[in-house]
């Protein structure tokens, strides 16, 4: 370790290293809170002016961060929200937490990583550690970020340090939080790994790997694993439906096996900022090696059929009551992509609402966590607002489609007053009365 690396390590040990996080969204804000609580001063760099103002006022816009907690950290100047990249001049550690979406053709769009890397390069100085936290395809750190930073003349592992540490947090999961999920860290050189490891050891158990490439592969593998297993259980669900088997009963029995089987449940499709996206990053990169990742294609195909299957089930259920989908009044219950959270990015509820609407139904939704939902202009829907869920609303419907199994919904009441319930999550499993109204996947 040279003197530059040694000096940075000492600052990390003393928590006197200044941290700048670029992109203060779900990941950036929760990480800022964790690091500032551990004793670091954190600049939160954002390009969304509204978010900066909210941080400056100490108001949280992420459900995993309380306003009480944020406001006291802001008051103590442990978290400072800004849009001014000049702060990078004084930052010892820069963490990139910007979005990594897919293009309309399902190809990686790392344009934001590229643009913030250009900005970092403009302020790069000796003794800085740059960490990529955003999820991306294996190779991004060394093939995209590193050359851009080395154009400055500074050398990696000597003058500055570069590492990837994927974000593994699972919002809404009360058993596994940032404090007990190990952090995987891989640097562009072994010194980079060591310094990034020392930094994250201030807040987590760290699993060092031999390179940034391995760390990047860890993340996309983890999410591909989830996507593929969800695809498998969804495919079995489609088969069970055809064979007249209750898939939920079958799974409950299957999951009594104490080993060799992890619990994955069927659903209306996949959602969120990770599972529907990250495997496509991997598959795209694999093409460079003439390697089609067939599991990703297959699982993606099955999972994207699920919203259509939900619509078929709804149409059949309405038919059985002599009601066509056209002009049916349907309430979608839950739009978040998973239970008890307020995030509807890539949620299959959006597709289901669009399909119901294009089939002529009159669609409303209820989600206490999400006051309004903005639709793509192509759907013709524009914006919908969450309606109240009361007896009057329920009685005046033709069907309820449960898309998100939020725990705080009174499912007994839903089943009591709604005429039919298409339950895509088995959210009504504890409802004892009027079960004949419930149609499971
Ligand atoms: N949300 C999750 O559960 C989760 C979990 C693991 C990994 N990730 C990964 O973490 C990364 C960030 O995800 P997120 O959920 O926090 O996204 P997000 O959209 O909630 O937050 C990203 C933030 O970056 C800001 N931003 C965009 N461009 C910017 C720029 N040029 N300069 C400064 N700020 C900019 C946005 O305004 C936004 O506030 C993604 O790569 C994602 O795949 C997310």
Q: How far is CA 312 from CA 306, 319, 349, in A?
A: 10, 10, 15
Cβ neighbour number for residue 345 with a 10 Å cutoff: 16
Query: What does the pLDDT average to over 412-421?
Result: 98
Report whether pLDDT(16) > 90: yes
Q: If you average pLDDT over residues 191-198, what whole number do you get?
A: 98
Contact 331, 401 (CB under 8 A): yes
Q: What ligand 1 atom has the least distance to the C-alpha of 25?
A: 21
Of 21, 24, 26, 60, the residue with max ligand 1 atoms within 8 A of its CB, to mutate for a pocket test, comes to: 26
Gap from CA of 30 to ligand 1 centroid (Å) = 11
pLDDT of 197: 98
| CA pair distance 315, 356, nearest whole angstrom | 9
> Among 232-241, 316-325, 373-382, which stretch is predicted with the lowest mean pLDDT?
373-382
* Domain spanning 3-210: CATH 3.40.50.720: yes
Which tens digits make up the pLDDT trace of 25-41? Answer: 999 999 999 999 999 99
439 contact partners, CB below 8 Å, separation of at least 6: 313, 317, 420, 421, 422, 423
Query: Is 25's C-beta closer than 6 angstroms to any atom of ligand 1?
Result: yes
Answer yes or no: is the C-beta of 319 below 6 A from any ligand 1 atom: no
The answer, yes or no, to whether any atom of ligand 1 lies below 6 A from the CB of 22, is yes
Catalytic residues: 274
- C-alpha torsion sign, points 123, 126, 128, 130: positive
Q: Is the CB of 171 under 6 A from ligand 1?
A: yes
Ligand 1 centre distance from Cα of residue 380 (Å): 28
- Residues 388-398 have pLDDT tens digits of 999 999 999 99
pLDDT at 378 over 90: no
Give the model's pLDDT for residue 171: 84
The response to whether residue 23 sits with its C-beta less than 6 Å from ligand 1 reads yes
- Mean pLDDT value of segment 365-370: 97
Distance 97 CA to ligand 1 centre (A): 5
**Taking the domains of the chain in order of start, what are their residue ranges?**
3-210, 248-440
**Contact 374/404 with Cβ under 8 angstroms?**
no
Q: Which atom of ligand 1 is nearest to the CA of 28?
A: 16
The Å distance, Cα 186 to ligand 1 centre, comes to: 20
Domain covering 248-440 assigned CATH 3.20.20.140 in the classification: no
- Provide the pLDDT confidence category of residue 1 given band limits of 50, 70 and 90: confident
- The answer to whether 156 and 3 have CB atoms below 8 angstroms apart is no
Q: How confident is the model at residue 405 (pLDDT cuts 50, 70, 90)?
A: very high
Which H, E and C letters describe the chain, residue by residue? CCHHHHHHHHHHHHCCCEEEEECCCHHHHHHHHHHHHCCCEEEEECCCHHHHHHHHCCCCCCCCCCHHHHHHHHHCCCEEEECCHHHHHHCCEEEECCCCCECCCCCECCHHHHHHHHHHHHHCCCCCEEEECCCCCCCHHHHHHHHHHHCCCCCECCCEEEEECCCCCCCCCCCCCCCCCCEEEEECCHHHHHHHHHHHCCCCCEEEECCHHHHHHHHHHHHHHHHHHHHHHHHHHHHHHHHCCCHHHHHHHHCCCCCCCCCCCCCCCCCCCCCCCHHHHHHHHHHCCCCCCHHHHHHHHHHHHHHHHHHHHHHHHHHHCCCCCCCCEEEEECCCCCCCCCCCCCCHHHHHHHHHHHCCCEEEEECCCCCEEECCHHHCCCEEEECCCCHHHHHCCCEEEECCCCCCCCHHHHHHHCCCEEECCCCCCCCCCCHHHEEEC
How much is the pLDDT for 124?
Answer: 98
Ligand 1 in reach of 100 Cβ (< 6 A): yes
d(CA 313, CA 399): 11
The answer, yes or no, to whether any atom of ligand 1 lies below 6 A from the CB of 26, is yes
**Closest Cα to atom 30 of ligand 1:** 47
Site to probe by mutation for ligand 1, drawn from 25, 50, 131, 169 as the one with most ligand atoms within 8 Å of Cβ, is 25
Distance 355 CA to ligand 1 centre (A): 28
Q: Residue 109 has what pLDDT?
A: 97
Same fold flag, 3-210 and 248-440:
yes
């Amino acid at each position: 370790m040279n003197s530059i690396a040694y000096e940075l390590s000492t600052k990390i040990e003393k928590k006197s290293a200044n941290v700048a996080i670029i992109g203060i969204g779900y990941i950036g804000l929760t990480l800022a809170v964790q690091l500032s609580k551990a004793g670091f001063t954190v600049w939160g760099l954002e390009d969304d002016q509204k978010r900066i103002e909210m941080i400056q006022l100490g108001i949280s816009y992420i459900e995993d961060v309380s306003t009480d907690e944020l406001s006291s950290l802001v008051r103590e100047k442990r978290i400072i929200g800004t849009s001014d990249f000049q702060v990078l001049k004084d930052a010892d550690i820069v963490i990139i937490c910007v979005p990594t979406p897919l293009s309309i053709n399902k190809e990686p769009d790392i344009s934001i990583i590229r643009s913030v890397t250009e900005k970092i390069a403009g302020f790069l100085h000796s003794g800085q550690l740059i960490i990529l936290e955003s999820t991306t395809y294996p190779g991004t750190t060394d093939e995209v970020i590193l050359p851009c930073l080395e154009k400055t003349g500074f050398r990696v592992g000597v003058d500055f340090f570069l590492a990837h540490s994927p974000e593994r947090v699972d919002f809404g999961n009360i058993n596994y939080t940032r404090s007990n999920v190990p952090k995987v860290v891989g640097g562009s050189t072994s010194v980079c790994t060591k310094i990034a490891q020392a930094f994250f050891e201030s807040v987590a158990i760290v699993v060092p790997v031999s390179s940034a490439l391995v760390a990047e592969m860890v993340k996309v593998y983890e999410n591909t694993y989830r996507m593929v297993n969800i695809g498998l259980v969804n495919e079995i669900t489609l088969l069970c439906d055809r064979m007249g088997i209750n898939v939920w009963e079958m799974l409950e029995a299957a999951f009594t096996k104490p080993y060799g089987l992890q619990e994955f449940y069927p659903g209306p499709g996949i959602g969120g900022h990770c599972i529907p996206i990250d495997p496509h990053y991997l598959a795209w990169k694999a093409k460079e090696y003439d390697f089609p990742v067939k599991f990703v294609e297959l699982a993606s195909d099955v999972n994207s059929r699920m919203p259509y299957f939900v619509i078929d089930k709804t149409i059949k259920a309405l038919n059985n009551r002599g009601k066509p989908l056209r002009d049916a009044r349907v309430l979608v219950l839950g739009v978040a992509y998973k239970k008890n959270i307020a995030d509807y990015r890539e949620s299959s509820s959006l597709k289901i609402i669009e399909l119901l609407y294009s089939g002529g139904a009159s669609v409303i939704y209820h989600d206490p966590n999400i006051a309004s939902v903005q639709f793509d202009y192509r759907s013709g829907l524009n914006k919908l607002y969450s309606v109240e869920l009361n007896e009057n609303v329920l009685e005046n419907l033709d069907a309820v489609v449960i898309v998100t199994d939020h725990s705080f919904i009174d499912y007994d009441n839903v089943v009591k007053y709604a005429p039919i319930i298409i339950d895509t999550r088995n959210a009504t499993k504890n409802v004892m009365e009027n079960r004949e109204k419930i149609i499971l996947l």
